Structure 1
Amino acid sequence: MLRHTTRVASRIIMTSSAAKTLRFKEAMRIVYGPFNQLSPEEASAWVPPDNPGAGGHRGRYLWTDAFGVVNFITLSQEEKISSPNNIYLTLARRLVGKVHDVLGRTRDGSARLFRATDAEPLAGGLRIGKVDADGPDGDGQYHHYLTLWMFALNRLAIAAGDYEYNRLAVQLAKAIHPHFVVRDGQRGGVRMYWKMSTDLKTVLVPREGHLDAATGYVVYKLLQRTAKQFSEEETLDAEIADYRSIMDSGDKLRPSGDALDLGMCLWMCHFFRDEEEWARELGNQSLAVARVVLSGFMARSASHRLAFREFGACMGLKVYGVDDELAARVDAIVDFWQKYLEKSADEDLRPISLVMYAAALIPGAFQDGYLKT
């Protein structure tokens, strides 16, 4: 009887896992087209679509495509046995190339961004990919989008065993740092800007992002750790020290009640919670806040909620690790949104919602230790 029960439980788990993978791939298919049946040769010539695409300018949006790259890497691991040629890593590489070609250039595509060259294509940063060139929601560069892209490049370097992607991430890290992180002549120390112009010459939003310094600290440390694993000598010590200085000034490290900020905070903290006290304390505080925040989600209708922000919370909670009670709430939120995603009334938010839905289903390569070096 026990043996039969064990076999049944195993089948249920396998079925649940297979169902998640199917939903994961379907979400990615809606954004990036029918990629799953491509041959290795077709994958090597694949062009990421701009319609539907990731949304944004010319079909590219940096945050969405960063999730897209990491999600393809997750698929490369989840289906390694059934996909010996691993087309998903090829698709991740192709998506990276397209993003650099579109968002690493001016909006008309005629030139690389200011300071970038063929030898250093990311020395000018990367555009957000906003539809409008100017205005309050116009194009420019966000620090938190750029660090997420660095993370995606870092994961691809590890998954593909190709250090060039981490080198590009380090190049981007060094290029943007002196524009977003500046010396404060009046107060002393350093401070940050949240948004810069496309050419990195003009401050568009002078305030600091709530978690920008801590995220920069974590991602830059991951880049440096990977450099050492590949026996490279690149260093980001000075930049990491700047971020740590900002983190230690004032009341910067506190949990947020915003679902997306909460999730990304938990994601960020999980990398160093066993090594650094600040990450452990902030992570545990955020976990306590999550218990309150998640309880309010299901009481509201879909029209008064933003799916992608809730998926950010769900992904962060999954990688950080939760008890059965929170895990059940996370699953309920993800399941709730499934029926709304493909037919969402807000077409602009559909791509970002779908890629983050996939990551909430299977965080995969977002999780430390998932990829082996």
Structure 2
Amino acid sequence: MRRDHPAMAPHPARKAATAEHDDAHRTAAALMHDFAVRTGVVGAAPAQRYLWTDAFAVCNFLALDEVDNAERLIEQVHATLGRHRADDARSGWIGGMDAQTAIEHPTRGGLRIGKPLPERAVDALPDAELEWERDGQYFHYLTRWMHALDQFARRTGQADAGRWARELAQTAHRAFTYAPAPGAPMRMYWKMRIDLSAPLVDTMGQHDPLDGLITDLQLRAHKPPGRTGFGPDLDVELREMAAIVAGTNLLTDDPLGIGGLLVDAYRLAQLLRVRPGDNPLLGLVAGAAANGLARYLATQPFARPLSHRLAFRELGLAIGLQAVTRLWCVLERESASLDAQPALRGALDRLLEQVPLARTLTDTWCEVARSDDAQWRAHEDINAVMLATALVPTGYIELDGSASSSSNSQL
């Protein structure tokens, strides 16, 4: 058959989609290259580590087939954020481990956020504004790092990374969860001291319990059969986190939070591999995301000047919206069961209508990134890395086939 035969010619829509994919890949690769150089992942610049951004960056490097950079970044995060700050009277690893133990268990003491200012002094009064700039440990940053380590372990087969994620999950759970009184429902602290000795902010993050629950499910599912020494089983953590989630309200009109709910819904669907009607949590998460997105869009947020918008929060929504079509593909395999859940189907229908918004947001912020915008530069690392995730989301939102279906479908 001749090469120019009509049957051999690419379909125009398919050809355009391929070109669009290649362009997104190139843009993401350029953003991640500049980030790697700027923050010392490669090259001579000193390492500048920030846990949230670095968790997304590891996943991006995996999506771009830059496994060496992902591994180098993991090593830097542990060596930097697993230790006390240079301006701290304390020194060494946060968990108090010796050097050899820290090599084997670098996450056992948790990981610092990487904020510019030291944590609040023990005798200092809280300052709500200043606390945003002070160091410590955040549970939702730790869960992002657990996810990044697990994704790395799944991609590379390096079991140590999976064990580090599970050890971090156990450490974080013990430090952040508590019972206000004997027999009272468990709660969580939002921010802890660097050494996890006491809370810095004792209110509970709205989605921290859900992040913990789904991450525990993910880590428990990825336990290679027959392998020993893979870290804690997380059964206790999973049960306790499920109980905390049962008492929380997931509804939010924050774009970053909505995006997180959408990614969580897709992760949950991938992990449980059950009919949607058998999983009430999935319906709750999808419904909260759909209702929250409607509230957010009702405020006409994109009519505001770009100077009044935060790129990384909107890009979090763009990432989540790209999980919606994937979620639909998973669920429609059991269409009869989905039809029996009108609330879940209704939420998915409303979410699918908004999927094109993801492209609008990435196009907007790609244009800003190419300019010399001062606000973009002020948060360049987190903005650039999350834009790269929105352009090439597979490393962050897709779990590979190694997850088992043994998780509890009734959560």
Q: Residue 178 of structure 1 is aligned with which of 174, 179, 188?
A: 174
1:102 aligned onto 2:87: no
1:64 aligned onto 2:60: no
For the residues of structure 2 that align with 1:99 and 1:174, how far apart are their CA atoms?
Answer: 19
Contact kept? 1:182, 1:192, Cα under 8 Å: yes
1:213 aligned onto 2:241: no
Question: How far apart are residue 150 of structure 1 and its match?
Answer: 0.3
Q: Counterpart of 1:112 in structure 2: which amino acid?
A: W
1:17 aligned onto 2:21: yes
1:26 aligned onto 2:30: yes
Q: Counterpart of 1:21 in structure 2: which amino acid?
A: H
Contact kept? 1:196, 1:203, Cα under 8 Å: yes
Q: Residue 68 of structure 2 is aligned with which of 68, 90, 93?
A: 90
Question: How far apart are residue 92 of structure 1 and its match?
Answer: 0.6
Which runs of structure 2 are paired with 1:165-204 in the superposition (5 Å)?
A: 165-185=161-181, 188-204=184-200
Which sections of structure 2, spanning at least 5 residues, go unmatched? 121-130, 326-347, 404-411
Q: Residue 358 of structure 1 is aligned with which of 370, 383, 388?
A: 388
Contact kept? 1:291, 1:326, Cα under 8 Å: no
- Regions of 4+ moved over 6 Å: none
Counterpart residue number, 1:113: 94
Paired residue secondary structure (1:200): coil
Residues 1:183 and 1:292: Cα distance change in structure 2 (over 3 Å)? closer
Paired residue secondary structure (2:222): helix
Q: Give the count of matched residue pairs.
A: 345
TM-score by length of 2: 0.77
1:159 aligned onto 2:149: no
Question: How far apart are residue 262 of structure 1 and its match?
Answer: 0.7
Counterpart residue number, 2:406: none
For the residues of structure 1 that align with 2:187 and 2:303, how far apart are their CA atoms?
Answer: 39
Residues 1:344 and 1:61: Cα distance change in structure 2 (over 3 Å)? farther
Paired residue secondary structure (1:327): coil
Residues 1:152 and 1:50: Cα distance change in structure 2 (over 3 Å)? farther
Counterpart residue number, 1:82: none
Contact kept? 1:67, 1:152, Cα under 8 Å: yes
Counterpart residue number, 1:329: 357
For the residues of structure 1 that align with 2:35 and 2:218, how far apart are their CA atoms?
Answer: 28
Counterpart residue number, 2:245: 247
For the residues of structure 2 that align with 1:187 and 1:49, how far apart are their CA atoms?
Answer: 54
For the residues of structure 2 that align with 1:338 and 1:287, how far apart are their CA atoms?
Answer: 26
Residues 1:146 and 1:258: Cα distance change in structure 2 (over 3 Å)? same
For the residues of structure 2 that align with 1:181 and 1:16, how far apart are their CA atoms?
Answer: 45
Question: How far apart are residue 364 of structure 1 and its match?
Answer: 0.6
1:125 aligned onto 2:129: no
Question: How far apart are residue 187 of structure 1 and its match?
Answer: 6.3
Residues 1:195 and 1:230: Cα distance change in structure 2 (over 3 Å)? farther
Question: How far apart are residue 288 of structure 1 and its match?
Answer: 4.1
Q: Counterpart of 1:238 in structure 2: which amino acid?
A: V
Question: How far apart are residue 199 of structure 1 and its match?
Answer: 0.8
Q: Mark the structure with the bigger radius of gyration.
A: 2
Contact kept? 1:50, 1:60, Cα under 8 Å: no
Residues 1:324 and 1:210: Cα distance change in structure 2 (over 3 Å)? closer
Contact kept? 1:159, 1:372, Cα under 8 Å: no
For the residues of structure 1 that align with 2:378 and 2:119, how far apart are their CA atoms?
Answer: 18
1:281 aligned onto 2:287: no
Paired residue secondary structure (1:33): helix
1:278-321 C-alpha deviation (Å, 9 max, x unpaired): 12332133134324534723211110100000000110111132
Paired residue secondary structure (2:187): strand
Which sections of structure 1, spanning at least 5 residues, go unmatched? 36-45, 77-87
Supply the RMSD in Å over aligned alpha carbons. 2.6
Contact kept? 2:252, 2:288, Cα under 8 Å: no
For the residues of structure 1 that align with 2:188 and 2:373, how far apart are their CA atoms?
Answer: 36
Paired residue secondary structure (1:204): strand
For the residues of structure 2 that align with 1:34 and 1:15, how far apart are their CA atoms?
Answer: 29
For the residues of structure 2 that align with 1:50 and 1:309, how far apart are their CA atoms?
Answer: 30
Q: Which moved more, 1:333-342 or 1:196-205?
A: 333-342
For the residues of structure 1 that align with 2:225 and 2:31, how far apart are their CA atoms?
Answer: 33
For the residues of structure 1 that align with 2:41 and 2:312, how far apart are their CA atoms?
Answer: 25
